[in-house]
Amino acid sequence: MATIDVTVMGAGVFGLSVAFACAVRGASVRVIDPHGIASGSSGGLIGALAPHVPENWNDKKAFQFDSLIMADAFWRKVSELAGADVGYFRSGRLQPLVDDRAVELARARALSAQNLWQGKAVWTVEAAGGSTWMPPSPSGLVVQDTLSGLIHPRRATRALADAVVALGGEVVREGATVGKIVWATGWAGMKEIGGNGVKGQAALLRYDAIGQPQLFADALHIIPHGDGTVAVGSTSEREFDAPFQTDAALDDVLARAYAAFPVLSGAEVVERWAGVRPRSKSRAPVLGLHPIRTGEYIANGGFKIGFGMAPKVGEVMADFILDGHDAIPEGFRA
């Protein structure tokens, strides 16, 4: 590559989405990550593309909604360029409702969703049916939405890297930082600007629920991937000594998952995972000009929502970096 227009530091989902969007616009891009592709939290197991609840609408929720609507076309293009299945599926999601108050609140949100989701997705309260893939519900009712999706994090991140290369870019472990520089270095980069990392632990079970909706119960995501596995997680640990080791906290996650959804109780645990997710003080992504690296850029802080936010993060950052068009929400600025 003779010249580099944009160098992205970090080969996680945010960094690669920015590089991809810039490459689609014709820029020459280089992605550098000394640890390799998906070596941080983007190499996890869950992949829940779950929306914020449709109420108290703000820029963050609107941005995420737009990104989730973009997801199908975005990941289809990535998959075609990479020649790989990213595991994306707009699965919808089921959530059991524990009591009358929860039912009342869910029905109010259903009315809000009719307007806020613009007819592109729905949030409804339904009777819990007799399917084996239905969470037990004390009220006999569940929330079912059609906006939630799921993705295979590792496969999707690696496919993004391959798509960048297919567009003429580079994804390397070392190299010169030239052109416009974007920092997407996850936990380490967030600590540099006053944010922090939150440890998460998750497990992968051998259970075939291909094509079923994801579940959310007892604050746990239960994600049926298209390869015959189900991911369960995760913890949110603000304090930790061993960032990449699983422990009794994951055992507790599994016990809660089995209680919330007994059909999983006999499934083989094929992998246990721990990693650290980058969290900003506001919990929103941090996009735009880097606060301490003059003249450089940042795209970081996808705490729990990185894969859901990635399509639009790439788009607005490419607009800003290449064209000077600033559509970054105020609450996302460093």
Distances (CA, A) of 331 to 63, 194, 210, 299: 11, 16, 37, 13
Instruction: Yes or no: say if 203 and 58 are a contact pair by the CB < 8 Å rule.
Output: no
Round to whole Å and give the CA distance between 274 and 284: 22
CA distances from 267 to 69, 209, 258 (A): 33, 12, 10
Q: How far apart are CA 275 and CA 157, in angstroms?
A: 16
Q: Domain spanning 6-90+148-194+281-332 has what CATH number?
A: 3.50.50.60
Per-residue model confidence (pLDDT) at position 1: 53
Number of Cβ within 10 Å of residue 34's Cβ equals: 11
Q: What pLDDT shows up at residue 2?
A: 64
Q: What is the pLDDT of residue 129?
A: 85
- The rounded distance, in Å, linking the Cα atoms of 18 and 118 is 27
Q: In Å, how far are 12, 185, 277 from 35, measured between CA atoms?
A: 10, 11, 16
Low-confidence stretches of the chain (pLDDT beneath 50): none
Q: 298-318, pLDDT tens digit by residue?
A: 999 999 999 999 999 999 999
pTM for the model? 0.97
Say how far apart CA 308 and CA 16 lie, in whole Å: 14
Contact assessment for residue 136 and residue 260, using Cβ atoms and an 8 Å cutoff = yes
A 10 A CB-CB count for 284 gives: 22
